[in-house]
Every structure is written in C-alpha cells, then in structure tokens.
Amino acid sequence: MHLWGGVGLSLYILVICVSGSAIVFRRELDKTLCPTGCEPPFVTALAAFHDDLGGGLTGRWVNGLGAVAVTLLCITGAILWWPGTGHLRRGMTVRRHVPWHRFMRDLHGALGFWLVLLVLLWTLTGIYFAFPGPFNSLDQALVDAGASSVTVEDDIAWVIRLHFGRAFGHGAEVLWTILGLLPMALVVTGVVIWWHRVLSKGTLHPPTSGKLEE
C-alpha cells in the first residue's frame, strides 16, 4: 500500500511541493513584478494551481483527496519505519557503509521521520481548505462546550498562516521554501526503492514483509 501509493502520488507530491514553495514569496513576487499593487497573472495562476490544481471547486476537492492520500502515506510510512524501541536511533539516522539500496532505505526512513509532522501539518490544513465543513462543525462543538469563539478562530488563522509560512518574517519564508522542497527527496528515494524492489527484479509483486533490512 505504501510502496505503490507513494509511486502513484509521486507526480502530485512533486508539483504541490514546487508550487507551494514558490508561492511562499507571493507577496514579494507581487511587489517586485507589479509595484503598483496588482498581481501578475502567472502568480495568480500558480497560487490557483497550488490551491485547486487550476480546476476550480472540483480541482480543490481533488486536491483535498490528494492531501488525504498523502496523510495515509505518512501513517503507513510511520508504521513501516517503526524499528522497535531498541533501534530508534538507527531509524533516525543514515548508515553510510552499506549497499546503495540499504542507504536509500535508511535515507528515505530518516527523512520521513524528521519530516512527518511537517508534512502532516500541510496535508491536514490542505484537507481543511478542501473540506472545511467537518472542521467548522468541530469548531462549533468546541464553542458550545465553552471555548471562546475568538480563541478558536485565532488558532485556526494561526495554523493557516503556518501552512503558507507567511507572516513570520523573511527568515521563516526562506526556511519554509527549503522545507517545502524536501518531500521531493522522499519521492525520489521512494521511487528508487520501488525500482530496486520491483522493476529491477523483474516482478511486479513487492516483498510481503515490511520489516527493515538489517
């Protein structure tokens, strides 16, 4: 499920990473390319592509389903990564003096570990953008339970700003741009693992065991 799901979502993840990192600097692009206060059409189109794949409301729903799929990819990846309590350090690092395919597995697992919370932040907020109804119902339930509506709305606004990496200064924007491209390394290493385990062995049936190779 994780192996084939990752391959199937690879192009989607790549284009979302690139477009998302680019529009972190949306305001700067607007000011540089159009000092009078307008927004260049290609910047608007890039942002629309990241939000709804350029397909309006239907595209936003598809984008939301893509975010759901990537969330499941994170969960299955975390299950497969889990090395046991006695081997946590190895699961978080990359061994160098091993065969190349094991190096790729280590790199893929370590990157996944360090990026999983960040990717989940992006996917869950992406799901919210596409399907806000359940989240709004939860917000209303919190307000009905006694939470301040202003506090709940402020928390939602803060998480949304965190998704785009804006409103935290230029340093945060640069960091967010770099971090936004790192999942591409997960795609590349994942495809290499898929190629080694499936195509290079002349079979379309990956090993049934998900255990880490020792």
3-state secondary structure of 91: helix
Helix (H) or strand (E) holding 183: helix 183-194
- Please report the pLDDT score of residue 70 as a whole number: 97
- Please report the pLDDT score of residue 212 as a whole number: 45
- Cα–Cα dist 169/56, whole Å: 30
Joined tokens for residue 14: 């790549």
Please list the rounded mean pLDDT of every run of 10 residues in the chain (214 residues): 92 95 89 88 92 93 96 95 83 87 92 94 93 86 80 80 81 91 95 86 52 44
Find out whether 35 and 42 touch, Cβ atoms under 8 Å: no
- Please report the pLDDT score of residue 203 as a whole number: 53
Residue 16 burial (CB count, 10 A)? 24
Nearest C-alpha neighbor of 3 from the set 213, 189, 214 = 189
